[in-house]
Amino acid sequence: MSIIGLDLAGLETRPTGFCLLSGMKAETTMLYTNDEVLRKIEENKPRVIAIDAPLSLPPGRTSLDDRQGDNLRESERDLLKHGIKLFPVTLGPMKKLAKRGIYIRGIFESKLYTVVEAYPGGAQDILRIPRKKYGTDKLKAGLEQLGIDGLKDGLSNHELDAVTCAFVGKLFLEGKSITYGGPGQGIVMPKGEKALSNQIKRKRICSQK
């Protein structure tokens, strides 16, 4: 059962983190163009693709330039209510990422792949492992404590966030996730530490600098 996680960049000139998760073994790399990403998807035929990027518009908006309708999606409101901070899709820097995310989602779904939106920073909070801002070495250690193998030294923060996305995709397939937001607009997150199976029980890692 292969799962792909993508830490998508807003521009094709910037690095996108890619993770192929087979069982609990991760293989990562950095990609750039949509063609490179699609080629990797087609090579591996994943059960699910979990993408760190907004994949839908807020209600009432017909495009990213449309100023009518809501500023927040239902999924974003739900996560904020649960104390998980994020950048809304309507925020300036997020628009390019959302544009690419919505476009690439359409390509994947036209090829009948299952695509879900993930938010690795929020997932890391729920899984109680450090975010990348505390250091990639601590994030890598946290992912390894979840039972993920194959993580090499010196991985970029993009690759480690892609690993997190892939792990969320695995939880989604196993029924151990929760989707915040409405149909087609949801963000998939882990259900929480207590709901996870024994295979990923681990010591809590200090997230202090």
Average pLDDT, the chain: 88
Q: What would the pLDDT profile of 121-143 be if each residue is shown by its tens digit? A: 999 999 999 999 889 999 999 99
Q: What are the C-alpha distances in Å from 184 to residues 65, 74, 142?
A: 20, 11, 30
Q: What are the C-alpha distances in Å from 176 to residues 35, 97, 119, 188, 189?
A: 32, 27, 16, 10, 9
CA distance 36 to 14: 13
pLDDT at 148 (0 to 100): 97
What mean pLDDT is predicted for residues 184-194?
Answer: 80
pLDDT at 203 (0 to 100): 37
Identity of the highest mean pLDDT range in 50-59, 61-70, 189-198: 50-59
In terms of Cβ atoms closer than 10 Å to its own Cβ (0-12, 13-18, 19+), residue 201 is exposed
**The residue type at 192:** G
Helix H, strand E, coil C: the string for 141-192 is HHHHHCCCECCCCCCCHHHHHHHHHHHHHHHHHCCCEEEECCCCCCEEEECC
- Token couple for 42: 């087609």
pTM of the entire predicted model: 0.88
Q: Is 103 helix (H, G, I), strand (E, B) or coil?
A: helix
**The domain defined by 2-200 carries CATH number 3.30.420.10:** yes
Q: Please, which residues bridge with residue 6 across strands?
A: 18, 51
- pLDDT at 181 exceeding the cut of 90: no
40 sits in which H/E element: helix 34-44
Q: What would the pLDDT profile of 13-52 be if each residue is shown by its tens digit? A: 999 999 999 999 999 999 999 999 999 999 999 999 999 9
